[in-house]
Amino acid sequence: MLKKLKEIVGDNWVITSDEKRLYGFDGLTAIKKEPKAVILPGNEEEAIKVIRELIRNKEKIIIRGSGTSLSGATVPIEGDEYIVSLTRLNKIYSQKGLEIEVGPGIVNAMVTKNAPPHLFYAPDPASFQVSSIGGNISHDSGGIHVVKYGPTFNSVISIKVILPNGEVEEFSPSPYFNLSSIFIGAEGTLGGVLRARLRLFPKPKVKKTVVGIFNSIKDSANTIVDIFRQGVIPSALELMDRNAIRAIEKSRYKAGLPDVEAILLIELDGHEEQVKEEENRVKTAIANNDGEEITTTDDSRFWNARKGAFPAMGSISPAYITLDCNVLRSDLPDVLEKISQIAEKYKVYIANVFHAGDGNLHPLISYYPDDFESFLRAVKASDEIEKYVIEKGGVPSGEHGIGIEKIKYLSVYYNETELNVLKRIKRTFDPDNLFNPCKMFGGCKEESRELKVLWEWD
C-alpha cells in the first residue's frame, strides 16, 4: 500500500521516518503519539486517490491541516492511523462578487489577501496567520470578529468533500436544508473537506477602537452587558484580565499595558455617523461601571497584545490547557468570579483572554508537562469550570471543538437520546470508523495516564 501511495504523490511526500513524530501532536500538547505514516498530496486529484486507497485497505485516516487544533482533534491515539495532510491544497480556484473558492490547505489570512481590496473574509481565529481553512471549517472556528459577523458556519456557502465510502460530493445551498452544515464542526469524523466556497464581506468605511480599563473584573463584565443593552453590536469585543496582562508584559509581546484587573477592547465599524453614535454609547457604558477610557492614537499595540496573549503564556509556564466554553453575556460576571475561585482552589494560574462579545470564554490554565500532579490539577480545574458553565446554561465548546479534550463533557451537556443521535450520524457516514477515530465520542483504548485523566471523571 505504501508503494501505491508513493506512486500517487511521489516518494518525498510519504513520511515514514522519524520526521512523522512532528505530526503526532497539535495545539493540545499534552497528548502525543506517532502516526503510522504521513501523506502529503499535492493537489485535489492526488488527495482523492490517497484517501480512496486508504479506505480500500480499511486504514484509519486523520485528515489534517496546519495542526493548530487546541482540542487534540488531529492527534493519533492508537498509533495505527495514517495522517493525510492537505496543506499543499492551498489553491485559489475562483473569486467572483462576494464569493471566493479555495482549497482546504490555504491559510486563513491568505483568503483576505487574495480577495479584492474592498472585501475581506470575516472569521479570524487567533491562529489566523497559520491555521488552514479546512481546519477552520472542521472546528467551526470563530475569532475576534465573530460577535458581528458570526463563526465560520456563517461564511461557508458550499463545500466539496470526500466521504468515508470514497465518494466525492459537492454540497451547495438548498431552499430546504443546508447539506454542508453537517460537516462544519464535525472535526473530520464524517469526511474530508477538499474545497470550499466562502462568503466575503465589504470592508467597513470606518473602524474605531475604544479601550476601557477596570479595577474590577466584575465591572468589566457588567460593561459588556451594558454595551449590548445600549443597542451596540461591536465588530469585536475582547477582554484580557490581570493574569493575561501580566503574561503579555513578561513576554516578547510586551505592549506597555496598564496593570489593572481587566482591559476591554471594543471595535466598532460601519458608517461614520453610526460609529460616532456607538462610540458615545460605549463610553457611557464604561463610565457607568467605574471604568476608564484610554485615549490612544495607536490601538494596534492593544490588538497585537491581544493576539499575542496565547503564546505569551509561555512566559508563565511551558504548557496550558485552553477551554472555549460559551455562556450568556449576562452570566459573565458570575462565571469569571467562579473561575477565580477555582484557580485558588487548585493552585493553578488561570489567565482569561476571550471573545467577550459572544461570551466565548478562553481560560488559559497553566501547567508543567514534566509534573503530572501539575497537569492533574489543571484538568480538575478545567472540569470544574466546564461543569459550572453547563449548569449556567452554557455550552462546552464554542469554536475549538471536542476532539479528545472534551469527550467526557458531552455526557453532562447532552442526554442519552441526544448522544445516540450524534453517534448514529457518525455510524451512518462512517460505519467502519475509519475517519478520525477516537475523537468526539472516544471508544479507543486508553494507554497514557494523561488520556485517562482527560477521559475519566475523578
* Domains assigned to the chain: 2-85 (3.30.43.10), 92-202 (3.30.465.10), 206-391 (3.40.462.10)
* Cβ 276 vs Cβ 230: under 8 Å: no
pLDDT of residue 451: 92
DSSP label at 203? P
pLDDT of residue 66: 95
Q: Which helix (H) or strand (E) holds 138?
A: helix 133-139
What three-state secondary structure class fits 130? coil
What three-state secondary structure class fits 82? strand
pLDDT of residue 25: 94
pLDDT of residue 446: 73
Q: Distance between CA atoms of 42 and 136, rounded to whole angstroms? A: 20
pLDDT of residue 210: 96
Give the distance from CA 261 to its chain's centroid: 26
Q: H helices of 263-308, where?
A: 272-288, 300-307
> Residue 404 has which C-alpha cell?
479528545
Q: Distance between CA atoms of 124 and 371, rounded to whole angstroms? A: 34
> Residue 69 has which C-alpha cell?
487544533
Angle between helices 44-56 and 2-9 (to 10 degrees): 170
4-41 in b/e form (b: 16+ CB < 10 A) is: ebeebbeeebbbeeeebeebbbbbbebbbbbbbbbbbb
Q: Distance between CA atoms of 405 and 79, rounded to whole angstroms? A: 18
Distances (CA, A) of 136 to 108, 196, 217: 8, 11, 31
pLDDT of residue 84: 98
> Residue 387 has which C-alpha cell?
461543569
44 closest CA partner among 81, 92, 88: 88
pLDDT of residue 458: 75
What pTM was estimated for this model as a whole? Answer: 0.94
pLDDT along the chain (458 residues), means of 10: 97 97 94 96 98 98 96 94 98 97 98 97 93 97 94 96 97 82 95 98 96 96 96 97 97 95 97 96 97 86 93 95 95 95 98 96 96 96 97 95 94 95 96 95 84 88
Query: Residues near 316 by Cβ (< 8 Å), separated by ≥ 6?
Result: 247, 250, 349, 351, 366
